[in-house]
Amino acid sequence: MTVATANHSFNATLQDLIEYPAQGINSKVLLKDNNSQYSLFCLAAGTEIDEHTSTRNAVITVIEGKGNLNLEGKEIALTPGVFIFMAANAPHAVQAQENLSFTLALSEHLPPKQGVSQKTIDIVKSTAPVIKQHGQKITTRMYEIMFDTHPEVKAQFDMSAQANGTQPAKLATAVYSYATHIDDLESLKAMVDKIAHRHVQTHVLPEQYPIVGECLLQAIKDVLGEAATEEVMTAWAKAYQVLAEVFINREQQIYQNVS
């Protein structure tokens, strides 16, 4: 949902737009254009957003409630009126002690970071056979972890496709395709575009990619066991970050075109 477009001026009282969910997060895009995006986040008391990074500079302005922001290891109290600038790629995490609402302003996209190293490419490609063999088991486990630790995201998924295994199967195919073509992302353009459009339809946000990444990496460790060495997990963590940026950038383009 986008409250306004960049084509016309508008004004709003933020308190009138605040809607707290029973649990988890409710977010609304207030305005976006080709360069920036302004969103309203409403977190139910007790909600936590695990540590993640953003590829864009961001500004948080707290409207009401009480919480805590850990920004690059520094604890910052979130209370009404607090203004925080976060540089791109700065690790941060949020905890809502009470119902908490704030605006998040994202600046224009920075130039893409350099892709993964050849060493990372070689390691990820070497895991392709085992990813193919155990792919659906890994993705099924990933969804189990995610729905258990972040139940608020369930609404964005087709649970019937979870039950019959089609969604884990599709994700397993995508993960295997990435492992085999990590050094040729152009060949994955059609797949990325199809998935990105589906993500836009279900209102996937950049802030949710760290959640998926964390759960996917844990699932790989759970399923592969000793084969998931520290070197393998480090390579997959770097590879996932690059893929997440590809999806975030493509989805941002789609959001702008449909606004």
Indicate if the alpha-carbon torsion angle 190, 192, 193, 197 is positive or negative.
Answer: positive
CB 60 within 8 A of CB 83: yes
Q: Is 226 a catalytic residue?
A: no
CB 213 within 8 A of CB 246: no
**Nearest CA to 45 among 30, 65, 18?**
65
Catalytic residue among 178, 209, 240, 255: 209
* Cα 195 to Cα 149, 248, 259, distances in angstroms: 23, 11, 19
Burial of residue 86 (CB within 10 Å: 0-12, 13-18, 19+) is buried
Q: Report the C-alpha gap between 105 and 88 in whole angstroms.
A: 12
Catalytic residue among 152, 207, 245, 251: 251
* Cα 162 to Cα 27, 94, 107, distances in angstroms: 24, 29, 35
Q: Is 251 a catalytic residue?
A: yes
* Cα 42 to Cα 6, 48, 96, 148, 185, distances in angstroms: 23, 12, 10, 21, 36
The two structure tokens encoding residue 163? 């039950």
Q: What type of residue sits at position 226?
A: E
Assign 3-state DSSP to the chain and report helix, strand, coil percentages, each to 5.
50, 20, 30
What are the start-end ranges of the H helices in the chain?
Answer: 14-17, 118-126, 128-149, 159-163, 166-180, 189-201, 209-224, 230-258
Which residues are known to be catalytic? 209, 251
